[in-house]
């Protein structure tokens, strides 16, 4: 080994935790984005923050009104009230979906980016699953993505200014897991919806892609599962930890930006799970 090779510092050294957050580069400067299920500390909230850091104006939707108000107030205080707005939005309600997108237009003009982050999970063995459990997960996770995408594409097509849709899928759309038949079916459906929408929307300059995270740690997730299960899931990851929500949001930023201008119909795995 040469002296140069011996002195070279590895570009990526082993870490016990996440790397430092990247500096912003104005990748979405001047864009208008809508993010669903964007209140709180999960992937949606991290995406809203990363979009703001990259220069976008952001309109947040969420079914949890109190949490939404708190998130909008906090982000507006940091990034300016002119760049942040929000309205309650249950993605199972077509009227609320329309109101969310109309708010974005009223505030900032034509929509540039839609991030479909809203989803609902649960655990039930298929033989014991009720129709209500099945329909509740599918209606939010898959049908909600359909409703929001349809509303956005209609507006983007009419405006003729192009745009981007990024859907939040999951690695569980590819991989089997006990008790997750409804969620897995919904996320696999989101992937298929992404591919078909992309083929149709390309004709009017709109790109449609998806991310498929494995495990992103945030307080809400910790409240709906057990520490033991979270530790087991983290152990399956190659890095031995869950992703930070902003690490998933970084990939969403990439897909929303011009750096992915020739990508459409793709689902990008944001996972360190061993093959």
Angle at the Cα of 52 from the Cα atoms of 151 and 82, rounded to 5 degrees = 80
Q: pLDDT tens across 125-178, in order?
A: 999 999 999 999 999 999 999 999 999 999 999 999 999 999 999 999 999 989
> So what CATH class is 32-213+242-269?
alpha beta
Condensed to tens digits (0 to 9), the pLDDT of residues 28-46 reads 999 999 999 999 989 999 9
Radius of gyration of the chain (CA): 19
Angle at 199 between CA 193 and CA 205, to 5 degrees: 115
Helix ranges, the chain (H): 3-7, 43-53, 65-79, 94-108, 131-138, 144-159, 181-201, 219-224, 227-236, 245-256
The whole-number average pLDDT for the span 39-60 is 97
Long-range CB pairs of 13-17 (<8 Å, 24+ gap) are 15/239, 16/240, 16/241, 17/241
Separation of alpha carbons 244 and 260, rounded Å: 22
Catalytic residue list contains 183: yes
Catalytic residue chosen out of the listed positions 183, 204, 259, 262: 183
Residue 1 pLDDT: 47
Q: What is the DSSP letter of 7?
A: H
Pick from 58, 130, 56, 64: which is nearest to 91 by CA?
Answer: 64
* Structural contact between residues 117 and 90, judged by C-beta atoms closer than 8 angstroms: no
For the segment 98-126, what is each residue's pLDDT rounded down to a tens digit? 999 999 999 999 999 999 999 999 999 99
The pTM of this model reads: 0.90
**Residue 55 neighbours by CB under 8 Å, 6+ apart:** 24, 26, 27, 28, 29, 30, 31
Q: Residue 223 pLDDT > 80, yes or no?
A: no
30 contacts 113 by C-beta, under 8 angstroms: no
pLDDT beyond 90 at 270: yes
CA distances, 140 to each of 67, 137, 188, 269 (Å): 19, 6, 14, 21
Backbone angles phi, psi at 210, to 5 degrees: -145, 155
- Tens of pLDDT, residues 237-254: 777 777 789 999 999 999
Task: Indicate the domain borders of the chain.
Answer: 32-213+242-269
Phi first, then psi: give them for residue 116, nearest 5 degrees: -90, 95
pLDDT of amino acid 237: 74
Is residue 89 classed as helix, strand or coil in its secondary structure? coil
d(CA 60, CA 96): 12
**Distance (Å, whole) CA 205 – CA 41:** 32
């Amino acid at each position: 080994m040469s002296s140069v090779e011996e002195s070279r510092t590895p570009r990526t050294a082993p870490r016990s935790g996440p790397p430092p957050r990247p500096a912003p580069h104005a990748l979405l400067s001047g864009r208008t984005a809508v993010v669903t299920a964007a209140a709180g500390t999960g992937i949606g909230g991290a995406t809203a923050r990363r979009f703001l850091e990259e220069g976008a104006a952001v309109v947040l939707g969420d079914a949890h009104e109190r949490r939404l108000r708190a998130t909008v107030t906090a982000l507006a205080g940091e990034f300016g009230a002119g760049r942040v707005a929000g309205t309650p939005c249950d993605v199972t309600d077509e009227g609320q979906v329309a109101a969310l997108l109309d708010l974005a237009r009223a505030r900032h003009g034509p929509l540039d980016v839609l991030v479909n982050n809203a989803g609902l999970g649960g655990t039930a063995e298929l033989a014991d699953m009720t129709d209500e459990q099945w329909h509740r997960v599918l209606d939010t996770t898959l049908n909600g993505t359909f409703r929001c995408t349809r509303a956005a594409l209609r507006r983007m097509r009419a405006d003729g200014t192009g745009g981007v849709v990024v859907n939040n899928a999951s690695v569980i759309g590819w991989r089997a897991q006990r008790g997750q038949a409804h969620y897995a079916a919904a996320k696999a459906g989101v992937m298929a919806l992404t591919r078909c929408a992309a083929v149709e929307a390309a004709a009017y300059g709109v790109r449609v892609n998806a991310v498929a995270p494995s495990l992103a740690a945030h307080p809400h997730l910790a409240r709906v599962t057990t520490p033991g299960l979270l530790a087991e899931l983290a152990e399956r990851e190659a890095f031995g930890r869950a992703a930070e929500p902003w690490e998933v949001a970084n990939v969403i930023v990439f897909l929303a930006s011009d750096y992915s201008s020739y990508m459409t119909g793709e689902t990008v795995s944001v996972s360190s799970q061993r093959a």
